[in-house]
């Protein structure tokens, strides 16, 4: 009898413990359901409200994530534990309730998930909301559409799908001779080109974000492809390889492969063989001279500083003075470049200092560069290119434009440009490297005489370097946050000519820009954003802070 009583007492104790545990768990849920109560200072979960039906139907394998939309337009997102390593960014889009117009994201409201929670403010009520969950850039984002947000129903609960990886493209990378590049380092990225245009290998297009990749033992390369950003853009796989040639100079090789219409929804897409084409020296470079600093301690080279000096021809000069038009910068491997504006002086002196080494002065003579413009009788104009040694003459294109009319087609004869039988009048000659949007030189107001009128040839020496100015900025987005280091900014003038520059630490940009335009237009598009941020900038001597909107 005593044994039965003991067994009964034990069972009663277990039942009581289970009941208490259930009651405690329900009480915990009740606490979490209060929208005004916060479990931790930065976490608020709202579990009441009607779930959006089509969210679960569209993604039946969803994992639980809670989105709370408060009346003041603040969105709180709590990612589930399983998705936390992969969900890192949340962005909000909205449009008027019940419409089928495009999703908009004014102000670019993006929040980073920290400790499982992201906050986004400024969401207008009476609009349909789409919340985009994204992870590391090589994972696909997923969109969840919520019903119209109203003050009467400030909270909803949705289920967020698991992030699925983006499609992957594979290809075999070959050199110019058709041999696979085995275990070769390269840079690959996805290039977005407007419309159906084929990207120019010799141009200044760069992918928004590129990765350092290495081919395998068969010369094969794998690269993920992100989601499309705009219908007006087509995507291309962009590959670049840099290696040292037999003459000691760096050789740059590039290739592009079309992706649109060939990508599978999931898995890998085989692109076949991609041949890298050398393009070294085919791009305009605002560079006077380059050199290499050699030291026993390689770390000292990284900390080297130098000043660019020029002959001081002032009455009381007679020595060397700091060049106000020249800028120097260090590149990889201890190499340095000297950049300047206008024709180079006959001599330059580089003053190098490095920790642990005595200061050294190195005198350099810039190579002779320029264009000879020769005018003669009979309406003849000839331009001889005295190009830099690293730019083949057959890559130069000379254009002739009569003032008030359009430009003629380029003459691409190696090293020269000529026209006979020109109608008397005033002409402009401008020369650029084929495939580039920047003019290297422009000579305006050339008077071509009437045919048969004798005139001594006129010779003009024009420096074949772009007009270079140093752009110094500190860039922030519309919320005042500095742009991430490594981001790419498109810089254009009013004519749409431009180039890409990279953002350094703390959102700073210091880059030579080959243009004489007084106003430049900046454009930035983040990898997780469909909206472009823009700003206009005018030249200043000191660094200026620019906010992109």
Separation CA 140–CA 224 (nearest Å): 10
Higher confidence at residue 334 or residue 478? Answer: 478
What pLDDT shows up at residue 137?
45
Nearest to 145 by CA among 95, 106, 105: 95
The helix (H) or strand (E) run that includes residue 386 is strand 380-386
Question: What's the distance, Cα to Cα, between the start and end of the chain in Å?
Answer: 83
- Least reliable range by pLDDT among 405-409, 420-424, 460-464, 519-523: 460-464
CB distance 544 to 537 below 8 Å: yes
Provide the percentage of residues in the chain whose pLDDT is more than 90: 0
What pLDDT shows up at residue 366?
46
Higher confidence at residue 481 or residue 134? Answer: 481
What pLDDT shows up at residue 547?
52
Separation CA 228–CA 260 (nearest Å): 10
What pLDDT shows up at residue 130?
72
45-83: pLDDT as tens digits: 222 223 332 232 333 333 334 455 554 556 565 544 444
* 3-class secondary structure, 530: coil
Residue 426 has pLDDT above 50, yes or no: yes
Beta bridge partners of 417: 383
Separation CA 251–CA 245 (nearest Å): 6
Separation CA 157–CA 38 (nearest Å): 17
Residue 103 has pLDDT above 60, yes or no: yes
- Least reliable range by pLDDT among 92-96, 243-247, 345-349, 400-404: 345-349
* 3-class secondary structure, 289: strand
What pLDDT shows up at residue 463?
43
- Least reliable range by pLDDT among 215-229, 289-303, 485-499: 289-303
Q: How far is CA 470 from the centre of its chain?
A: 19
- Least reliable range by pLDDT among 52-56, 332-336, 474-478: 52-56
Dihedral sign of CA atoms 147, 148, 153, 157 in order: positive
Residue 389 has pLDDT above 80, yes or no: no
Separation CA 413–CA 395 (nearest Å): 9
Q: Which residues fall within 8 angstroms of residue 290, CB to CB, at 6 or more apart?
A: 331, 335, 336, 337, 338
Residue 49: half-sphere exposure toward Cβ, Cα within 13 Å = 28
Give the mean pLDDT of the chain: 61
Average pLDDT over residues 393-409: 65
120-134, 327-341, 472-486, 520-534: which is most confident:
472-486
DSSP state of 354: -
What pLDDT shows up at residue 507?
79
Higher confidence at residue 230 or residue 237? Answer: 237
Cα 549 to Cα 71, 358, 482, 511, 526, distances in angstroms: 26, 48, 13, 22, 12
54-58, 149-153, 498-502, 543-547: which is most confident:
498-502
Residue 486 has pLDDT above 70, yes or no: yes
Residue 452 has pLDDT above 60, yes or no: no
What pLDDT shows up at residue 459?
34
What pLDDT shows up at residue 23?
41
Provide the percentage of residues in the chain whose pLDDT is more than 70: 30
Separation CA 269–CA 283 (nearest Å): 32
Beta-sheet strands, E only, within 39-140: 63-64, 66-69, 75-78, 89-96, 110-112, 117-120, 127-134
- Degrees (nearest 5) of the Cα angle 221, 207, 163? 70
204-229: pLDDT as tens digits: 677 766 777 888 888 999 888 776 65
Query: DSSP assignment of 170-236, as one string?
Result: EEEEE-TTS-B-TT-EEEEEEEEEETTPPPPTTS----SSEEEEE--TTSEEEEE------TTEEEE
CB distance 113 to 151 below 8 Å: no
Q: Strand 75-78 vs strand 89-96: parallel, antiparallel, or unpaired?
A: unpaired
Higher confidence at residue 301 or residue 397? Answer: 397
The helix (H) or strand (E) run that includes residue 45 is none
Separation CA 25–CA 462 (nearest Å): 82
Q: How far is CA 98 from the centre of its chain?
A: 36
What pLDDT shows up at residue 40?
25
- Least reliable range by pLDDT among 47-61, 89-103, 330-344, 352-366: 47-61
297-328: pLDDT as tens digits: 556 555 555 556 665 555 444 555 555 555 55
pTM for this entry: 0.32
Separation CA 371–CA 386 (nearest Å): 5
Higher confidence at residue 70 or residue 23? Answer: 70
Q: Which residues fall within 8 angstroms of residue 470, CB to CB, at 6 or more apart?
A: 327, 339, 510, 511, 512, 513
Separation CA 479–CA 195 (nearest Å): 31
- Least reliable range by pLDDT among 35-49, 308-322, 351-365: 35-49
DSSP state of 110: E
Work out the pLDDT band at 481, boundaries 50, 70, 90: confident
- Degrees (nearest 5) of the Cα angle 428, 430, 434? 150
What pLDDT shows up at residue 134?
64
Average pLDDT over residues 130-149: 57
């Amino acid at each position: 009898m005593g044994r039965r009583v003991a067994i009964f007492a034990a069972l009663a104790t277990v039942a009581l413990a289970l009941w208490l545990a259930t009651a405690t768990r329900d009480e915990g849920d009740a606490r979490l359901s209060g929208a005004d109560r916060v479990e931790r200072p930065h976490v608020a979960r709202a579990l009441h409200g009607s779930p959006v039906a089509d969210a679960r139907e569209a993604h039946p394998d969803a994992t639980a994530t809670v989105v709370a939309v408060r009346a003041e337009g603040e969105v709180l997102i709590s990612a589930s534990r399983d998705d936390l390593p992969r969900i890192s960014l949340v962005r909000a889009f909205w449009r008027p309730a019940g419409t089928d117009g495009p999703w908009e994201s004014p102000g670019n409201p993006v929040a980073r998930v920290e400790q499982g929670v992201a906050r986004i403010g400024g969401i207008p009520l009476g609009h349909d909301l789409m919340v985009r969950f994204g992870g590391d850039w090589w994972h696909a984002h997923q969109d969840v559409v919520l019903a119209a947000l109203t003050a009467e129903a400030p909270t909803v609960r949705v289920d967020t799908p698991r992030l699925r990886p983006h499609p992957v493209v594979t290809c075999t990378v070959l050199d110019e001779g058709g041999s696979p590049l085995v275990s070769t380092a390269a840079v690959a990225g996805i290039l977005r080109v407007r419309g159906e245009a084929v990207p120019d290998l010799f141009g200044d297009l760069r992918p928004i974000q590129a990765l350092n990749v290495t081919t395998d033992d068969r010369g094969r390369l794998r690269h993920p492809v992100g989601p499309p950003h705009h219908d007006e853009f087509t995507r291309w796989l962009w590959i670049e390889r840099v290696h040292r040639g037999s003459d000691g100079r760096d050789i740059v090789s590039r290739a592009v492969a079309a992706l649109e219409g060939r990508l599978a929804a999931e898995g890998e897409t085989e692109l076949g063989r991609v041949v890298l084409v050398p393009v070294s020296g085919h791009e305009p470079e605002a560079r006077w001279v380059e050199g290499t600093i050699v030291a026993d301690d390689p770390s000292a080279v990284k900390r080297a500083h130098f000043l660019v000096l020029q002959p001081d021809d002032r009455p009381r000069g007679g020595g060397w003075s700091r060049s106000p038009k020249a800028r120097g910068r260090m590149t990889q491997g201890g190499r340095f470049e000297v950049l300047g504006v206008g024709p180079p002086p006959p001599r330059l002196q580089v003053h190098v200092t490095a920790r642990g080494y005595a200061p050294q002065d190195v005198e350099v003579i810039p190579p002779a560069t320029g264009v000879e413009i020769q005018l003669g009788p009979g309406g003849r104009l000839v331009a001889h290119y005295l190009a830099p040694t690293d730019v083949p003459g057959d890559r130069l294109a000379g254009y002739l434009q009569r003032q008030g009319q359009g430009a003629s087609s380029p003459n691409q004869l190696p090293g020269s440009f000529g026209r006979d039988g020109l109608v008397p009048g005033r002409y402009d000659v401008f020369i650029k490297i084929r495939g580039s949007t920047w003019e290297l030189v422009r000579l305006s107001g050339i008077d071509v005489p009437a045919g048969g009128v004798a005139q001594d040839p006129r010779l003009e020496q024009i420096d074949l370097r772009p007009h270079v100015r140093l752009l110094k900025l500190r860039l922030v987005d519309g919320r005042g946050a500095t742009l991430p280091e490594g981001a790419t900014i498109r810089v254009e003038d009013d004519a749409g000519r431009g180039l890409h520059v990279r953002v350094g630490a703390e959102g700073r940009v210091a880059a030579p820009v080959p243009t004489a335009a007084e106003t430049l237009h900046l454009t930035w598009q983040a990898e997780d954003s469909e909206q472009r941020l823009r700003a206009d900038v005018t030249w200043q001597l000191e660094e200026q802070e620019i906010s992109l909107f």
